[in-house]
Amino acid sequence: MKLLLDATRCQGYGLCHEPAPDLIDLDEWGYATVVAQPGSGAAEAAASAAAACPNSALKWER
Ligand code: SF4
Protein backbone atom coordinates (compact mmCIF):
# COMPACT_ATOMS: atom_id res chain seq x y z
CA MET A 1 0.00 0.00 0.00
CA LYS A 2 1.37 3.37 -0.96
CA LEU A 3 0.32 7.01 -1.02
CA LEU A 4 1.56 8.57 -4.25
CA LEU A 5 1.67 12.24 -5.19
CA ASP A 6 1.85 13.47 -8.77
CA ALA A 7 3.42 16.85 -8.08
CA THR A 8 2.66 17.99 -11.63
CA ARG A 9 -1.06 17.85 -10.78
CA CYS A 10 -0.87 19.47 -7.34
CA GLN A 11 -2.41 22.94 -7.40
CA GLY A 12 -1.82 23.79 -3.76
CA TYR A 13 -5.39 23.59 -2.51
CA GLY A 14 -4.14 22.01 0.70
CA LEU A 15 -7.26 19.93 1.28
CA CYS A 16 -5.29 16.69 1.62
CA HIS A 17 -3.48 17.80 4.76
CA GLU A 18 -6.38 17.88 7.19
CA PRO A 19 -7.33 14.18 6.91
CA ALA A 20 -3.69 13.02 7.03
CA PRO A 21 -1.46 15.58 8.78
CA ASP A 22 1.10 12.92 9.75
CA LEU A 23 1.49 11.81 6.13
CA ILE A 24 1.38 15.07 4.17
CA ASP A 25 3.15 18.38 4.69
CA LEU A 26 2.23 21.59 2.89
CA ASP A 27 4.75 24.20 1.88
CA GLU A 28 4.14 27.90 2.39
CA TRP A 29 2.11 28.06 -0.84
CA GLY A 30 -0.02 25.03 0.08
CA TYR A 31 1.68 22.52 -2.17
CA ALA A 32 1.83 19.00 -0.80
CA THR A 33 4.66 16.59 -0.06
CA VAL A 34 4.16 13.02 1.13
CA VAL A 35 6.42 12.78 4.17
CA ALA A 36 5.50 9.33 5.44
CA GLN A 37 3.80 6.22 4.20
CA PRO A 38 0.89 5.03 6.28
CA GLY A 39 1.08 2.01 8.49
CA SER A 40 -1.95 -0.20 8.69
CA GLY A 41 -3.54 2.12 11.25
CA ALA A 42 -3.40 5.11 8.91
CA ALA A 43 -4.83 3.52 5.79
CA GLU A 44 -8.15 5.28 6.29
CA ALA A 45 -6.42 8.65 6.61
CA ALA A 46 -4.47 8.03 3.41
CA ALA A 47 -7.63 7.08 1.55
CA SER A 48 -9.39 10.19 2.87
CA ALA A 49 -6.51 12.42 1.79
CA ALA A 50 -6.58 10.99 -1.73
CA ALA A 51 -10.35 11.42 -1.89
CA ALA A 52 -10.08 15.03 -0.69
CA CYS A 53 -7.83 16.10 -3.55
CA PRO A 54 -9.93 17.90 -6.17
CA ASN A 55 -7.22 17.51 -8.79
CA SER A 56 -6.56 13.76 -8.48
CA ALA A 57 -2.95 14.49 -7.55
CA LEU A 58 -2.94 11.95 -4.74
CA LYS A 59 -3.45 8.25 -5.29
CA TRP A 60 -3.83 5.65 -2.60
CA GLU A 61 -2.66 2.36 -4.08
CA ARG A 62 -3.53 -0.81 -2.24
S1 SF4 B 1 -5.42 18.48 -2.16
FE2 SF4 B 1 -4.39 17.78 -4.04
S3 SF4 B 1 -3.95 19.64 -5.18
FE4 SF4 B 1 -4.38 20.21 -3.05
S5 SF4 B 1 -2.40 20.27 -2.02
FE6 SF4 B 1 -3.24 18.24 -1.72
S7 SF4 B 1 -2.38 17.05 -3.41
FE8 SF4 B 1 -2.14 19.18 -3.95
- The per-residue pLDDT for range 21-42, each reduced to its tens digit, is 999 999 999 999 999 999 988 9
Q: Which CATH class is domain 2-61?
A: alpha beta
Q: Which residue of 3, 8, 11 sits with most ligand 1 atoms within 8 Å of its CB, as the best mutation to test the pocket?
A: 11
Predicted confidence at residue 29, as pLDDT, reads 96
Helices marked H in 1-62 — which ranges?
A: 43-52
Res. 62 pLDDT band, cuts 50 70 90: confident
What pLDDT is recorded for position 50? 97
**Residue 14 Cβ < 6 Å to ligand 1:** yes
- Quote the pTM value: 0.92
Residue 40: its pLDDT value, please? 83
pLDDT for residue 5: 98
Cα–Cα distance for residue pair 10/1, rounded to 1 Å = 21
Which residue lies with its CA nearest to atom 1 of ligand 1? Answer: 53
